[in-house]
Structure 1
C-alpha cells in the first residue's frame, strides 16, 4: 500500500465471531504493530494496524497509530511515490489528515487550504480545515489553563483535541502530566506507558512516569525515570527540576528519620519542617512528613502542634490511617475524648481489627467517664491517691466550703459554697468506699446494685470528722479570713 493511501477501508465483519473476540483479535494486531513500530519497521507496523482497523473500524487509536507509520514511511522510503500525487487535491487532503492526526494543526491547515485553492467548495477540505482550526484553539486554551494551574480544563480540551489528533504524543503527554498533577496517577501512567511501548526513548513519557511515581512517594524509582529522561533529552527542564526535588526530598526525609531514631527530636522536627518546604505539590510524601513531625511533636510534649500536623496530614490524604491513629492518641493524652472517639470510629470503619475495636472502646469509656463529675478533681487529689490522702483532702475542702464559714456572704456566694460543700461530701462518699471507687474508676454506673452516688448526707459525713454541730464554730481572724474553732 502506498504511503498516502490512509483512507479508511471498511471490511465486513467476519461472521460467527463475537464482539469481544473481535476486539481481542484487533488488540493483538495493534500490539504486533507496536512491536514493529518500535523496531522502525514501519511497513510491517502499517500492515498490522490496518488489520486491526479492518476488524474494529470504529477504534480511533488504530487510525492514529497507522497515521504515525504513514508519516514515518513518507519520510523514508515513500517520498517519491508521495510526490507523484502531492499536487492533486486528494494528495493534499491525505497529507493534511496525517498532519492533523499527529497534532500538526497548522501544517494540516495549509494542506487543506491548498485543496480549497484547487477545489473551492471541496466539502471534505472545508470540514477538515474547521477541525484543524478547532485543534489550534484547543491548544491555545490549554496553554493558558496550564499556566494558571487549571489542570482539569487542560485534560478536558486535550481530550477534545485528541478526537481529531489521536496519534499526537504531545497532546497525550500534556494530558498525562495534568492527570498526574490532579492525583490521577493510574490514568496518567496508562497514557505514558502506551507511548513508551511504541517509543521507549520518549523523554516526555519517561518524565511523566517518573512524576507519577514521585507523587506516589516512590521516590527512588522516580529518580531512575527522571535520570533516564535526562539521558534521552539533557535539556529537559521539567525532568531536571523534578529530579532535583526528588533527591532533596529523599535526603531530608532520611535525615529526619535518622534524627528521630537517635532520639534527637528537636533536630528531627527541624528537618521534617525543611522537607515540607521543598515541594508543596507532593501530596503523599508531605502527608507522611506532617505525620512524622506530629509524632516528634508528641515526643516533645507539643500536643497542640502534634494535633495540627496530623490534621494537615489528613487534609492531604484522608485515607492515611497512621495520621488518624497519632491524632487520636494526642486527643486521648489531652483529654479531648469526643475528638478521639471520632477518629477511632473512622479508623475502625476503615480497618476492623481487634486492636482498633479495643482502642475505640477505651476512648468511648473515657468519654463516658469525662461526662460525670470528676470526684478526684473536686477533692483536689490524683487518681492514685491513698485512703489517707483522700481523707486529708476531704477535711481541707469540707472546711473550705462549709456553709457556716460563708454565713455573712451574699446569697449567691452562700448558694455556690453550699453546692461545693455537698459535692465534696459526695466525692468522699464514693472515693472512700472501695466498691464504689472501683466501679467509678472503671466507668460503670454507680446507680447499679444500689450504689447511688447521691445516697449520702454531707452534714453527716462532716459530723463524722468534726463532731456535733455545736462543737465547732467559724470565727473571723481578719478581713475575709476565718479559722475553725472546736468547743
Structure 2
C-alpha cells in the first residue's frame, strides 16, 4: 500500500527502495519482480527493467504479463543502444531511424521521451534536418535549459535556417554557464560573422540575378520569389521566416527596378 501511494505521489525512487525490500522478503515473487520492472521502466531505466523482468521469467517462463513486458523492454533497450552506437560511429541518419522507432515503441512514458530528445536533437542537427532539429532541441531544453550540447546543436540548426540572432542567443546562454569554453567562443564568433555577412548581402544576391540583369529580368525574378515567399502562403513558424524574406525581396526590387536608385546603389562605397 505504501509503494502504491508513493507511486501515485510521483515518489518513484522512494517507492523503488520499499519495493526492492519487499520483493527480497518473499520467495518466488513473480509479481514483485514485474512491479520492479515496470517501475524502472517508468523511470526510463531500460537495463534495470530488463534485469528485473528476467528474474520474473526465471521463476515462471510462461508468465504472460512478464513475457509481454520482457518483449517490450528488450525491443526498446536494443533500439536505444543501437542509437548510441550510431552516434559514436557518426551514423546520424541511422541514429534518427532508431530513435524514431523508439518513440513509436513507447509514446506514453515521459522519461523515455526526455532521454530521446537530446539525442534526436544531436542527430538531426548533424544531418542538417534543421527544422526538426530545432523542434526536438527546444523540447529537450524545456527540461534541461542549460544543457550545453543541446544549446550548441540548436544554434547550429538555427544557422542552417539563417536565424542567426537565435543562434547567437543560444551560444551566449551556453557561455554564461561555461565562460572558458573555447568551443563556445568559437561558435559564437562564427554565428556573429555569418550574421554580419548575411546582413550585407547585395540586392542582386537576394533576387538571384546577375549584376548585368535587365529590368525585365529583375521583375521576373521578383515575381517568382514574391510568389514563393508571400507571408499569406505560409503558416506557423514558416510565416515569420517568409515575411522576413519577403521584405528583403521587396526592398531589392524597389531599388534595382528604378534606374536612378540602381545606379546610385551600384556606385555605393563598399561596406
- Please classify the TM superposition score into its range, dividing by the shorter chain length: 0.5 to 0.7
Q: Which residue of 2 aligns with 1:289?
A: 116
Q: Which residue of 1 aligns with 2:205?
A: 380
Q: Secondary structure at the match of 1:338?
A: helix
Q: Which residue of 2 aligns with 1:63?
A: none
Of 155, 168, 178, the match for 1:328: 155
Larger Cα-atom Rg = 1
Structure 1 gap segments, 5+ residues each = 1-170, 382-392, 401-411, 432-487
Q: 1:277: how far off?
A: 0.7
Partner Cα distance (1:368, 1:271) in 2: 35
Cα distance 1:413–1:364, how it changes in 2: closer, same or farther (>3 A)?
closer
Cα distance 1:349–1:263, how it changes in 2: closer, same or farther (>3 A)?
closer
Q: 1:330: how far off?
A: 0.8
Q: Which residue of 1 aligns with 2:71?
A: 244
TM-score, scaled to structure 2: 0.62
Higher relative contact order (CA 8 A, sep 6+): 2
Q: Which residue of 2 aligns with 1:172?
A: 2
Higher helix share: 2
Q: Which residue of 2 aligns with 1:224?
A: 51
Q: Secondary structure at the match of 2:202?
A: helix
Cα distance 1:424–1:250, how it changes in 2: closer, same or farther (>3 A)?
farther
Q: Is the counterpart of residue 338 in structure 1 residue 165 in structure 2?
A: yes
Partner Cα distance (2:155, 2:199) in 1: 23
Of 409, 425, 430, the match for 2:267: 425
Q: 1:327: how far off?
A: 1.6
Deviations 1:385-426 (A, max 9, x none): xxxxxxxx76x37x86xxxxxxxxxxx968973445444433
- Asked if the contact 2:16/2:36 (under 8 Å) is kept, the reply is yes
- Asked if the contact 2:50/2:74 (under 8 Å) is kept, the reply is yes
Q: 1:249: how far off?
A: 0.8
Partner Cα distance (1:333, 1:257) in 2: 25
Q: 1:225: how far off?
A: 1.6
Partner Cα distance (1:334, 1:267) in 2: 23
- Asked if the contact 2:121/2:153 (under 8 Å) is kept, the reply is yes
CA RMSD in angstroms comes to 4.2
- Asked if the contact 2:168/2:192 (under 8 Å) is kept, the reply is no
Work out the number of aligned pairs and report it: 231
TM-score, scaled to structure 1: 0.38
Q: 1:359: how far off?
A: 5.2
Partner Cα distance (2:61, 2:6) in 1: 21
- Asked if the contact 1:259/1:267 (under 8 Å) is kept, the reply is yes
Q: Secondary structure at the match of 1:173?
A: helix
Partner Cα distance (1:380, 1:349) in 2: 36
Q: 1:292: how far off?
A: 3.4
Q: Which residue of 1 aligns with 2:129?
A: 302
Cα distance 1:249–1:424, how it changes in 2: closer, same or farther (>3 A)?
farther
